[in-house]
Every structure is written in structure tokens, then in C-alpha cells.
């Protein structure tokens, strides 16, 4: 009985270890986030080191339905995208969504300041734009966090502050209203280059969506390694007895 219990324990630890390794492998592909860019996002979020897994990477021919299939219901995320203006200049921009994406919810409205935790960012230029807080009781400016529609990619704000079209490529736009770096309304400027809005003239290249989770405590790593070690010892004993 004791041997059966020991074997079951070793098996569970080994499975957990294998799951951890597979998770790390799945997240190790090409990424838009360099270590420096990930560090910047971690600094802006303010929760220490994070584990970011790429749950969606745009492929040729993808539409908003592909984005939603991969991203809906997955909890909070960073959406990161290469965005070019009409002059062909390109920036790496995106946003932090503290709620799950959805194909059917429409606008996610956040009236309470405590819920207005989303932000937009321009990693190339090195700045972040927080979701605006209330200026008086019931203030509607800053309440419209994300727009959730089957016909749109990762889209933030009511303007829209950052809009990704159905084909995830042509006809995007940035009309800042819900988000602003100075904490005050400044309507109609672009997240990319700060220019006054001139229509849907943004073209998107690569797009990735990253799920966000805390890095396991050192004790968790130790448990996984211990499980693999015990499994190795058990195998050696089995061979010795054969």
C-alpha cells in the first residue's frame, strides 16, 4: 500500500513538472516583447515580475474572430501590436485589459475609480496612458474601458482610443478620450504620434495577446524539481532490480 501511495505521489509530481515545462515551451516562441519591454509593462502594472504567455499571435488571413477565439474568457491580458500611421512610421503600442475579452459584451463600463485600472501604452515612445478617473460623482469620462465585439480586434475606449478593425490590419484608428497621460481629458489625439485624429489611417502588422499570471513562488519550483528527482531515483531502482 505504501509503495502504491509513493508511486501515485511521484506520478502526480512528474505530471505537474511536465505541465510546467510544456507551458514554458508554449510561451517561448517569437514574441513582440523584448525583456526590456516586458520589464516596462511590469513596472507600469506594478505587481512585480509576471509570467506572460502568448495566447494569440496574428497569422496571415486572420480576422477578429480568430482573436476572440483565442482570447475570450482568458482573464486579464496585454494586447501588443505593430501600428503604422499614414506616413509609414511604425510604433509598438497596445493596452492592458483587466477583464476578459468577449465577442458579445459590447462596451465594458467601469463607473467606480477602483475599476478604472486599464491603460494604453506606446512602448516605442516609452509612455503609458491611464484610464481617466472621475472628476465628480457619476462622471462618464473614462468609464468605457474596452469595446467587445465579434467584428473588432482588441479595442479600447469609446473614441475608440485604440481601434483594431475586423481584418486586424487596415483601417485602424486612435482617438484618445477615455485614456490620457496627464489625467485630464484631451480628445482626438493619436496614441501613435500625438497627431490630431485624421481618420481611420492606422495599419496593423504583427499582433499578440498575452495572458498575465504571477510567477510561482520558489517553493513551487522546488516541489516540481523534487518530484522529477524522485521519479529519476525510482526509475534507477527499477532498472537495478530488473
pLDDT tens digits along 18-59 = 333 333 333 445 799 999 999 999 999 999 999 999 999 999
pLDDT tens digits along 3-18 = 443 443 433 333 334 3
List phi, psi (to 5°) of 156: -120, 140
For residue 219, what pLDDT is reported? 53
Place of cell 522529477: 228
Residue 97: CB atoms within 10 A of its CB come to 25
For residue 10, what pLDDT is reported? 35
Residue 17: CB atoms within 10 A of its CB come to 19
pLDDT tens digits along 158-205 = 989 999 999 999 999 999 999 986 655 567 899 999 999 989 999 999
Q: How far apart are CA 166 and CA 241, in angstroms?
A: 63
Q: Where are the alpha helices (DSSP H) in the chain?
A: 2-26, 35-45, 64-71, 218-241
End-to-end Cα separation, the chain, in angstroms: 21
* Residue 69 and residue 58 in contact, taking contact as beta carbons nearer than 8 Å: no
Q: How far apart are CA 122 and CA 107, in angstroms?
A: 23
For residue 22, what pLDDT is reported? 33
For residue 21, what pLDDT is reported? 36
For residue 146, what pLDDT is reported? 98
Domains of the chain, residue spans: 33-215
pLDDT tens digits along 200-241 = 999 999 999 999 999 876 654 455 565 666 566 566 666 666
Conformational region of residue 121, where left means phi above 0, alpha means psi within -120 to 50, and beta covers everything else: beta
pLDDT tens digits along 81-135 = 999 999 999 999 999 999 999 999 999 999 999 999 999 999 999 999 999 999 8
For residue 53, what pLDDT is reported? 97
Edge-to-edge strand list for the sheet holding 106-109: 106-109, 144-148, 155-156
Q: CB-based contacts of 11: which residues, under 8 Å, 6+ apart?
A: none
For residue 182, what pLDDT is reported? 61
pTM: 0.79
Amino acid at each position: 500500500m505504501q509503495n502504491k501511495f509513493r508511486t501515485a505521489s511521484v506520478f502526480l509530481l512528474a505530471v505537474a513538472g511536465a505541465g510546467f515545462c510544456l507551458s514554458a515551451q508554449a510561451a517561448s516562441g517569437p514574441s513582440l516583447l523584448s525583456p526590456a519591454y516586458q520589464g516596462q509593462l511590469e513596472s507600469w502594472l506594478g505587481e512585480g515580475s509576471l509570467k506572460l504567455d502568448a495566447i494569440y499571435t496574428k497569422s496571415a488571413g486572420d480576422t477578429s474572430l480568430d482573436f476572440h477565439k483565442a482570447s475570450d474568457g482568458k482573464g486579464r491580458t496585454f494586447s501588443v501590436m505593430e501600428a503604422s500611421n499614414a506616413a509609414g512610421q511604425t510604433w509598438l503600442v497596445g493596452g492592458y485589459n483587466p477583464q476578459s475579452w468577449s465577442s458579445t459584451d459590447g462596451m465594458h463600463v467601469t463607473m467606480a475609480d477602483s475599476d478604472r485600472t486599464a491603460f494604453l501604452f506606446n512602448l516605442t515612445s516609452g509612455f503609458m496612458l491611464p484610464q481617466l478617473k472621475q472628476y465628480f460623482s457619476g462622471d462618464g469620462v473614462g468609464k468605457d474601458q474596452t469595446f467587445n465585439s465579434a467584428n473588432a480586434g482588441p479595442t479600447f475606449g469609446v473614441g475608440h482610443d485604440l481601434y483594431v478593425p475586423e481584418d486586424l490590419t487596415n483601417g485602424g484608428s486612435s482617438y484618445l478620450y477615455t485614456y490620457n497621460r496627464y489625467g485630464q481629458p484631451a480628445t482626438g489625439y493619436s496614441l501613435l504620434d500625438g497627431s490630431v485624429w485624421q481618420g481611420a489611417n492606422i495599419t496593423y502588422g504583427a499582433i499578440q495577446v498575452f495572458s498575465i499570471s504571477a510567477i510561482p513562488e520558489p517553493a513551487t519550483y522546488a516541489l516540481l524539481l523534487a518530484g522529477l528527482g524522485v521519479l529519476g531515483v525510482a526509475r534507477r531502482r527499477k532498472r537495478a532490480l530488473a
